[in-house]
Amino acid sequence: MKLTIIGSSDAFGSGGRLQTCFHVAWSRGAFLIDCGATSLTGLFRQGFDPNDVSTIFVTHLHGDHFGGLVWWLIHAVHVSERRAPLTVVGPAGIEARFAAAAEALFPGSTQTERRFELRFRTWQDFQPLEEGGVTVTPFVVSHPSGATPYALRFEVDGRVLTFSGDTEWVETLVPAAQGADLFICECFAFACAARYHLNWRTIEANLPRLGAKHVLLTHLGPEALANRAAIAHPAVSIAEDGLVREI
Ligand SMILES: [Zn+2]
Ligand SMILES: [Zn+2]
């Protein structure tokens, strides 16, 4: 599979980066992991057509991870004239939270006639879910967002890609990342304690236990960005918007 980092920022766009969104192209199509508010902008920057994306997998219900669905909908209806079905998989409650956000920002947008099927599915804690040939296992993490937050472990074309989502340290990250070809891990802070987020020192201390072949840090906040030169490990790199990686 081919991973493209569409957005690698924290919730605040630190460092001028876009909010969380990863594009995965594989043998049978393309999907997104998270869809922050800036996702359409990022997809266009990288030359992707949103109509080619069949599924959007969402880790948790914070605006910088699912807010982009609001713009996605009005673009699909009014601009790209989408016809292909779109499946959104996320925490229980995602459909109602999406509708509330869409109606707050673009009143009437959920009632406009669509020429494509918009389907929602929800994670069951730790239960593998198959969608369009992709198997995803949702591991419960710790990050209050009005619904259960997850780290997601993807099995695609015989490879494993795990994303931590947003979370403080929890032991479920160990099985989620174990043996993964790539573990994308949030790293909001460098050494500071950031509530409900990870810092580099914690990740570094747990690298041997996580057991991933490579770790890609994302969601860096101001303190992590300021100290990025001190993040040095042969199996770790830092995500940038536009980064492409074959997995
Ligand atoms: Zn976030
Ligand atoms: Zn969050």
> How many angstroms is it from 229 CA to the middle of ligand 2?
25
- 2-240 architecture in CATH? 4-Layer Sandwich (3.60)
**Among 215, 227, 140, 125, residue whose Cα is nearest residue 179:** 215
Q: 4 pairs with which residues across the strands? A: 23, 244
| Rounded Cα–Cα distance for residues 147 and 94 (Å) | 8
Q: What is the pLDDT of residue 91?
A: 98
The pTM (predicted TM-score) of the whole model is: 0.98
> How many angstroms is it from 34 CA to the middle of ligand 2?
11
Question: What is the per-residue pLDDT across 46-95, written as a single tens digit (0 to 9) for each?
Answer: 999 999 999 999 999 999 999 999 999 999 999 999 999 999 999 999 99
Question: What is the per-residue pLDDT across 165-211, written as a single tens digit (0 to 9) for each?
Answer: 999 999 999 999 999 999 999 999 999 999 999 999 999 999 999 99
| Rounded Cα–Cα distance for residues 73 and 188 (Å) | 29
| Rounded Cα–Cα distance for residues 52 and 82 (Å) | 9
Q: What is the pLDDT of residue 245?
A: 98
Residue 89 CB neighbour total at 10 angstroms: 22
> How many angstroms is it from 81 CA to the middle of ligand 2?
31
> How many angstroms is it from 168 CA to the middle of ligand 2?
10
Which of the ligands is closest to the CA of residue 146?
Answer: 2
> How many angstroms is it from 184 CA to the middle of ligand 1?
13
| Rounded Cα–Cα distance for residues 3 and 245 (Å) | 5
Which of the ligands is closest to the CA of residue 21?
Answer: 1
Residue 54 CB neighbour total at 10 angstroms: 18
> How many angstroms is it from 143 CA to the middle of ligand 2?
7
> How many angstroms is it from 208 CA to the middle of ligand 1?
25
**Among 29, 88, 18, residue whose Cα is nearest residue 53:** 29
What percentage of residues in the chain have a pLDDT greater than 70?
100
> How many angstroms is it from 83 CA to the middle of ligand 2?
31
> How many angstroms is it from 247 CA to the middle of ligand 2?
26
> How many angstroms is it from 215 CA to the middle of ligand 2?
19
Note whether 229 and 177 are within 8 A (CB): no
What percentage of residues in the chain have a pLDDT greater than 90?
100
Which of the ligands is closest to the CA of residue 12?
Answer: 1
Token representation of residue 11: 């919730």
